[in-house]
Amino acid sequence: MRIAVLSGGVGGARFVRGLLAHLSSPAAPAGAAGAEVTVVANTGDDITLHGLRVCPDIDTILYTLGGAVHEEQGWGRRDERSTVAEELAAYGAGPSWFTLGDRDIATHLVRTRMLGAGWTLSQVTAALAERWQPGVTLLPMSDQPVETHVLVDDPDRRAVHLQEWWVRMRAGVPAHGFPLLGLDRAVAAPGVLDALREADVVLLPPSNPVVSLGPVLAVPGVRDAVRGTRAPVVGVSPVIGGAAVRGMAEQCLAALDVPCTAGGVAGLLVDLLDGWLVDDVDLDATREDLSGTGGRGGRPETVGTDLLMRDVAGAARLAGEALGLALRLAGRDAA
């Protein structure tokens, strides 16, 4: 069984960790034993700070699957310190609004050095994965830099990097759009399109639909590959009861005049979805929202469950439900 997942940071990483736990559990479906999971990670959050190339979503996935993540925070390393960042601040070296942890900096040093020596981001990611043994094939969406910026109302600057909008401005400045700088020169990284085309199941975890899944799907060929895959495509809503479980989906959806509801998010993905997993509290409203839509092969099958991933077991249960829905849809198509 080949499973392809498009992923942002924390939500995607936790979902994939749950998926791997489910696949090796007694509850796993037939064929799960040798399942191969490919994760295509968003790199639109990437940023160069202090000369270091930082890939937040890739690192969150590696640290989470490698057992090294700061569990409460959801990103960064456990047992982390910020000695280097404090020293950088003492030199007045900006930006001051983004703090890199000491352990984390080693990852960025290795990556920056390898990129400088001519390795591609795919190759660097594979090299970093040798340490973390994530149990999946982790691919960046593209080897070319694509950086998500945010159009804001600022007389001095029309656009800021997503990280600056999120971390420094705390998404408190209204956004009007999310241009992807570098997208015109980007191609899907090696293996990305094949993984989507040849998958038996495609899963979209509860990642931000605008600035996490959005950049991945915007890479030339990716959206078409998901739309055209023979595999069932099942997504998980990142919104429960009108609020994002975490992150900045609310502010991002507002910028696009999309309601912050499970149905609103599904509307952004409706050309891709065979199945849509929402929280029980949202089931009726979402079905109502989607009643007039087309989906890939008609209206996406919308199913309600408990969407909160409280721990690894909870994430395994959720991933199992998404996978189960996908396999059920595949069986229905086959029947």
Q: Which positions touch a copy of itself (CB under 8 A)?
A: 50-52, 81, 83-85, 87-88, 90-93, 102-103, 105-107, 109-110, 112-113, 116, 128, 130-131
How far from 142 is each of 26, 40, 113, 240, CA to CA, in Å?
A: 36, 9, 19, 30
The smaller minimum CB distance to a copy of itself, of residues 109 and 243, is found at: 109
Q: In the complex, what is the shortest distance from the CB of residue 127 to a copy of itself, in angstroms, rounded to a whole number? A: 8
206, 245 in Cβ contact below 8 A?
Answer: yes
Q: In the complex, what is the shortest distance from the CB of residue 96 to a copy of itself, in angstroms, rounded to a whole number? A: 13
The smaller minimum CB distance to a copy of itself, of residues 34 and 92, is found at: 92
Beta bridge partner(s), residue 148:
180
Task: Give, to the nearest 10 degrees, the angle between helix 102-116 and helix 83-90.
Answer: 80
Q: In the complex, what is the shortest distance from the CB of residue 110 to a copy of itself, in angstroms, rounded to a whole number? A: 5
147, 44 in Cβ contact below 8 A?
Answer: yes
Q: In the complex, what is the shortest distance from the CB of residue 90 to a copy of itself, in angstroms, rounded to a whole number? A: 6
Helices and strands in the chain, H and E counts: 13, 14
Q: In the complex, what is the shortest distance from the CB of residue 334 to a copy of itself, in angstroms, rounded to a whole number? A: 45
Q: Which of 279, 283, 285 is nearest to 306 (CA)?
A: 279
Q: In the complex, what is the shortest distance from the CB of residue 44 to a copy of itself, in angstroms, rounded to a whole number? A: 23
Cβ-in-10-Å burial (0-12, 13-18, 19+) of 137 comes to middle
Q: Left, alpha or beta for 91 (phi > 0: left; psi -120 to 50: alpha)?
A: alpha
The smaller minimum CB distance to a copy of itself, of residues 34 and 91, is found at: 91
The smaller minimum CB distance to a copy of itself, of residues 86 and 224, is found at: 86
Largest interatomic CA distance in the chain: 67
The smaller minimum CB distance to a copy of itself, of residues 51 and 191, is found at: 51
Q: In the complex, what is the shortest distance from the CB of residue 99 to a copy of itself, in angstroms, rounded to a whole number? A: 12
Q: Left, alpha or beta for 76 (phi > 0: left; psi -120 to 50: alpha)?
A: left
Q: How far, in Å, CA of 263 to CA of 253, rounded?
A: 12
Q: In the complex, what is the shortest distance from the CB of residue 55 to a copy of itself, in angstroms, rounded to a whole number? A: 15
Q: Left, alpha or beta for 191 (phi > 0: left; psi -120 to 50: alpha)?
A: left
The smaller minimum CB distance to a copy of itself, of residues 51 and 331, is found at: 51
Q: In the complex, what is the shortest distance from the CB of residue 254 to a copy of itself, in angstroms, rounded to a whole number? A: 36
Cβ-in-10-Å burial (0-12, 13-18, 19+) of 172 comes to exposed
Residue owning tokens 């078409």:
224
The smaller minimum CB distance to a copy of itself, of residues 145 and 275, is found at: 145
The smaller minimum CB distance to a copy of itself, of residues 105 and 262, is found at: 105
The smaller minimum CB distance to a copy of itself, of residues 23 and 138, is found at: 138
